[in-house]
Structure 1
Amino acid sequence: MTSQPHPDSIEITITCAVVTVSDTRTPETDKSGQLIQQLLLAAHHAVGAYTIIKDEPTQIQGQIEQLGQNLNLDAVIFNGGTGIAPRDTTYDAIEKLLEKTLPGFGELFRFLSYQEIGSRAIASRAVAGVYQNKLIFSLPGSSNAVRLAMEKLILPELVHLVSQIRK
């Protein structure tokens, strides 16, 4: 039995940036980036920025630093590059910049993934934390993984986490 978090006492719209990390995707073929945006909008949140960048550590870090300066954003959701292949550098680039980490996010994501895909879940390096008073989430690039993270973890806690950061 899974208990639901207590309802948020306030209704606020969270403004998020969506960043797809991929060497091959385009806005037309970026199903995961599109899905994140659709789920945010359906939950009455806002998409303040969307981009696709190459899986290059300097580009990833430059993007997070640039978005960290954007006072209109509350959160940044990255997707792609969280595996262990040589070109998967998103985790390494982001983890170094996080001022606070949310270890429970990665732990719960891998647990939920294990329930869906089995032992392959160990290869995921999904991570979350705080940078420049913004929530940062880094998800795998698969649409199934994105849906799982958004529906089971991010959307249920987004308002609460942003409210905590704003205190």
Structure 2
Amino acid sequence: MSRIDETKDFIPVRIAVLTVSDTRTPADDRSGDTLVDRLTEAGHLLAARDIVPDDRGTIAAQLRAWIADPGVDVILTTGGTGLTGRDVTVEAHRDVYEKEIEAFGTVFTIVSMQKIGTSAVQSRACGGVAGGTYLFALPGSPGACRDAWDEILKWQFDYRHRPCNFVEIFPRLEEHRRRK
């Protein structure tokens, strides 16, 4: 079972939040606000925040820019993970992933099933790694953002979480790029 090892120090990570929407503005971006509130309450740092339209190329370009930024450790996107024609966030994420974290989508579905039942099948939440940066595509509802953060990401971005967490393997994400 998971636990927090109080003998370890908390290590804050730098998290960028990207809202994907054709209609949201900073004034009414409730899902982005939810993520920012959660990550800062947990002791992490907001590295950047933006809103982009539902356009695959635009989303991928913003992801690549933040992946290239040494001040960003993690990118959380909200919106565009559904099944409609404008939902292209997952495709944009997969355009930039070096490795996909397949279990994230599975665990998110399990968490969602407890809250919204079989409607959870309509989400394509996903996660991956690129350029030493973690990326997660979350649905566009504040409830889904709360569930993803509170039930999964909060723990995986806490260095003290045992038996393992994402933070402890940061130094090894790009070991394949080192010379032998």
TM-based fold match above 0.5: yes
Aligned length: 165
The CA deviation string for residues 139-165 of structure 1, in whole angstroms up to 9 with x for no partner, is: 000000000000000010014313202
Is 1:123 paired with 2:128?
Answer: no
Pairing 1:50-65 to 2, within 5 Å after superposition? 50-65=49-64
Q: Which residue is equivalent to 2:15?
A: 16
User: Is the partner of 1:33 in helix, strand or coil?
Assistant: helix
Q: Which residue is equivalent to 2:169?
A: 164
Q: Give me the whole-angstrom Cα distance separating, in 1, the residues matched to 2:135 and 2:83.
A: 20
Pairing 1:1-150 to 2, within 5 Å after superposition? 3-7=1-5, 9-150=8-149
> Which one-letter code corresponds to 1:7 in the other structure?
D
State the shift of 1:101 in Å.
Answer: 1.2
User: Is the partner of 1:83 in helix, strand or coil?
Assistant: coil
Retained in 2: the 8 A contact 1:21–1:79? yes
State the shift of 1:91 in Å.
Answer: 0.3
Retained in 2: the 8 A contact 1:139–1:145? yes
> Which one-letter code corresponds to 1:31 in the other structure?
R
Q: Give me the whole-angstrom Cα distance separating, in 2, the residues matched to 1:131 and 1:158.
A: 17
CA RMSD of aligned residues (A): 1.2
The answer to which of 71-80 and 8-17 deviates more is 8-17
Q: Give me the whole-angstrom Cα distance separating, in 2, the residues matched to 1:103 and 1:6.
A: 24
TM-score (structure 1 length as normaliser): 0.95
Retained in 2: the 8 A contact 1:56–1:89? yes
Retained in 2: the 8 A contact 1:74–1:162? no
Unaligned runs of 5+ in 1: none
State the shift of 1:7 in Å.
Answer: 3.0
Q: Give me the whole-angstrom Cα distance separating, in 2, the residues matched to 1:146 and 1:98.
A: 21
Q: Give me the whole-angstrom Cα distance separating, in 1, the residues matched to 2:29 and 2:149.
A: 16
Q: Give me the whole-angstrom Cα distance separating, in 2, the residues matched to 1:138 and 1:51.
A: 14
Q: Give me the whole-angstrom Cα distance separating, in 1, the residues matched to 2:126 and 2:154.
A: 16
Q: Give me the whole-angstrom Cα distance separating, in 1, the residues matched to 2:30 and 2:119.
A: 21
Identity of aligned residues (%): 33
State the shift of 1:100 in Å.
Answer: 1.1
State the shift of 1:6 in Å.
Answer: 4.9
State the shift of 1:95 in Å.
Answer: 1.3
Q: Give me the whole-angstrom Cα distance separating, in 2, the residues matched to 1:40 and 1:6.
A: 17
> Which one-letter code corresponds to 1:17 in the other structure?
A
Unaligned runs of 5+ in 2: 159-164, 173-180
